[in-house]
Amino acid sequence: MRSLSLDAAIRAFVESDYEIIDDTFAETGNVVIWSVDPLIPKLGDRFDIETGGLVHELAVYTLTTFRGGWSVTCRAES
């Protein structure tokens, strides 16, 4: 699993305040989303993600919070 830097001075967020990491989606069906948005998702929440030219519905199955933000791992629904 890829390590993420939590230091905002080192890793700036894009304008939307979200980063989606989908580089292993084809093999694992997982997507990591991390953000500084104050609205923290809950386990089971769903996201629609476009990756590889297709839209996929994913459900949050792990949640990690850290000072100033959060990270979730989402799994594609079968």
4: closest CA among 34, 27, 41, 49? Answer: 34
- CATH number, domain 18-76: 2.40.10
Measured CA to CA, the distance from residue 46 to residue 61 in angstroms comes to: 10
Question: Mean per-residue pLDDT for 59-65?
Answer: 96
**What is the value of pTM for the model shown?**
0.73
Structure-model confidence comparison of residues 18 and 71, the more confident one: 71
| DSSP per position, 47-59 | EEEEETTEEEEEE
Q: Cβ(35)–Cβ(19) under 8 Å?
A: yes
Question: Mean per-residue pLDDT for 41-69?
Answer: 92
Q: Can you give the pLDDT at residue 14?
A: 57
